[in-house]
Structure 1
């Protein structure tokens, strides 16, 4: 420890302020004469002596040495816990500030592990607040650091977060690239299944579903369930059931999908993560709405319960997803004006970053406005939604959206534009357009 030359003067000043004599300060372990020599600057105290003196004077060690006060590891952990609690309570802005304040107190050279935890926390806060582009920049930096410093930066949670953000931004190819590379590395080392590894599988299932690759999604979902059965964490199994149910639903197997999601609900209901439970209820409500024996009234009740919970513990994006689901339910219940209201609220909360979910809201708006007889607004909203889906590489979903728009245009008597929309649908499905030029058949992509 570096000792300032003015330490003797500080000892004398603090002793006098405390109303102590040199003998009283010396106590049993030191002598009054030694204290006198210290105060005169004729002796340099050891670190142990300084600790004794600081304890007797009731001051911080920094008050004696003149060095900046050091925050203990426990104090760092308290601040990290506070920032995490703020994030879990649905306040990403305050959480970001708490993590940022902590990081500014920390020297990267002295406490790199705390610095990286604060950086990871800020990235998560940005993601929860819907600031996805900013979140991706920080997660990418952390991902790079995790390759060089795996002991300081958790790689798998960072990859999962990147995958989520890229999915929301509509960059499905990049999400798959990052996640698949990490899975390949895990397979290479033949590591035993872990909870975080199963979470990565489950996240990747969702990305493949968005892209329309249901074969790969189904394969990974099966893997996730098998691996989850080998670990003791029930949440891992719940997450695997959750994703597998969505895959089965997309493949038309609604009965089994409901069975799996009800198993997931039973697991999550026993835990304390109210936010995850509410988000799972959103997915359950969509299955109730879209099953062969649709139950829109029950779906509406489930979503209202979910919305109440998410307004307390969820982020603005979580609330937006719930409002999006409510818009679809209101549309099925023939409450077009309520559907429009919910969809517009969701779009406002989503902002410009969440392209895939915004696209779905535009499609709901289109259907609701068409139900109210506003065909022009319906066409505009439908085309915007289709374009956003296509830009996000969700080609299967985009194809259906273009086909629905074609039907709207046909009903409106705009046959030429309807043909154009059908062609867009075929293109998204991977079909090449063919046409005759004289007697020669040619094709173009």
Structure 2
């Protein structure tokens, strides 16, 4: 809104142009004295007053408050919707071009909500492209622009920032951001179903990776209960996609697959290509956990091809790690090694969890080739990456692998250290990012560790 003096002069000009007296303009809700005071710039009009006067003057609230015709904001919002459609169905870099242009227009016109929407779009584009620092910056700026708005309006940039930190391997901080927003919503009494489902669905992934299974299940229950009140079908689909992970952790394979089928049907209807690819990705993961490796390979290849076509570099690389795991388990080691080598050339910018997973797989293949030194080197690098990220399930599995390797090479004390580290992390079906569920295997590591303790005591 402009300064009172500018608004007052604008009201007076429009009133005179329309041949109205101050009394005629004010009737029936205000007095001519109020209009006179407003036109002289001595009072800042409320939004209610300006909307009344705009209606009497035959103009829009936006034009009366800012001097900019309302059609500019409408056209900008329509263009932002088009950019969002491009992001959903086309390539992220193409959508980013549109968003940058619209952001510049919104800044020039001083349209703050539209600036925030453009920043949100740019953040989503950066996530797909794997430019995580840029994504975080865009989401932070969107939050700043919406700082005076209720948290329900700020939920999407908060969720976007949390996802960017999650993809960077900063699981604890992602949880902190989402939990803080959920707590703030509860404390403020803003029980908005859309915002709550968005935040609860987003926190399931990091909870699962950190081994906080009870919290993940609780968020899943709340999201499912609120889903009937949510108007955005894409939001409901995203919720089903995340809830599938909690079903998987509980061994409910049929329920996990049913949730993914619901999500896939919605995404297909809405033509949301990236989200549809994520469904294929998750179904491949479910099938791999269940030992259906041929079907898992098909789903993961479908996901990779869809994401690659959209030039979604970060997600493509992460799917390729999981595909490499399936190929290794099928005995196709050379294909798996090629995929992993390409990922590691990109560095850890494509996610510490999946980079750690790549080193884990390379370690397994080195062991199978009879190269224990190379295997140990990869396991140690994976351990460093996963400890930093807090991916509890993956850590437990990796500590078992490293402990077993050290024990076989005669380094009992070092093996015990690895087992002890792993004993602090719970591993259950669906909590590791890669490979078969490690629960049974790690139970054997606990027994093995106990046996070595007994031997040492004797």
Per the normalisation by structure 2, the TM-score is: 0.70
Point out where structure 2 has 5 or more consecutive residues left out of the alignment: 1-70, 428-445, 450-458
Residues 114 and 223 (structure 1), Cα distance of their counterparts in 2 relative to 1, 3 Å cut: closer
Counterpart-to-counterpart distance in 2, 1:233 and 1:145 = 23
Size of the aligned set, in residue pairs, is 360
Which secondary structure state, in structure 1, belongs to the residue aligned with residue 147 of structure 2? helix
Q: Which residue of 2 aligns with 1:195?
A: 194
Q: Which residue of 1 aligns with 2:282?
A: 283
Whether the 8 Å contact between 2:89 and 2:271 is mirrored in structure 1 is no
Deviation at 1:120, TM superposition (A): 2.8
Residues 374 and 85 (structure 1), Cα distance of their counterparts in 2 relative to 1, 3 Å cut: farther
Counterpart-to-counterpart distance in 1, 2:381 and 2:204 = 26
Point out where structure 1 has 5 or more consecutive residues left out of the alignment: 1-70, 434-445
Counterpart-to-counterpart distance in 2, 1:391 and 1:320 = 20
Counterpart-to-counterpart distance in 2, 1:155 and 1:260 = 27
Q: Which residue of 2 aligns with 1:295?
A: 292
Q: Which residue of 1 aligns with 2:125?
A: 125
Deviation at 1:203, TM superposition (A): 0.5
Deviation at 1:206, TM superposition (A): 1.1
* Deviates most, 399-408 or 110-119: 110-119
Q: Which residue of 2 aligns with 1:393?
A: 390
Q: Which residue of 1 aligns with 2:303?
A: 306
Q: Which residue of 2 aligns with 1:160?
A: 159
Whether the 8 Å contact between 1:168 and 1:357 is mirrored in structure 2 is no
Deviation at 1:79, TM superposition (A): 5.2
Q: Which residue of 2 aligns with 1:140?
A: 140
2:327 paired with 1:330: yes
Counterpart-to-counterpart distance in 2, 1:180 and 1:115 = 26
Residues 384 and 318 (structure 1), Cα distance of their counterparts in 2 relative to 1, 3 Å cut: same
Counterpart-to-counterpart distance in 2, 1:167 and 1:181 = 15
Q: Which residue of 1 aligns with 2:173?
A: 174
Deviation at 1:321, TM superposition (A): 2.3
Deviation at 1:324, TM superposition (A): 1.7
Once the two structures are superposed, residues 258-309 of structure 1 have per-residue CA deviations (whole angstroms, 9 ceiling, x without a partner) of: 3433343344343311221111111111111112xx2101111222222222
Give the number of the structure with larger relative contact order, counting CA–CA contacts within 8 Å between residues 6 or more apart.
2
2:354 paired with 1:357: yes
Structure-to-structure mapping, 1:106-117, within 5 angstroms: 106-107=106-107, 110-117=110-117
Once the two structures are superposed, residues 400-434 of structure 1 have per-residue CA deviations (whole angstroms, 9 ceiling, x without a partner) of: 21121111222333434323322332355699x9x
More helix by share: 2
Q: Which residue of 2 aligns with 1:374?
A: 371
Deviation at 1:226, TM superposition (A): 1.2
Residues 128 and 349 (structure 1), Cα distance of their counterparts in 2 relative to 1, 3 Å cut: farther
Deviation at 1:367, TM superposition (A): 1.6
Whether the 8 Å contact between 1:90 and 1:315 is mirrored in structure 2 is no
Whether the 8 Å contact between 1:387 and 1:398 is mirrored in structure 2 is no
Structure-to-structure mapping, 1:265-280, within 5 angstroms: 265-280=264-279
Larger Rg: 1
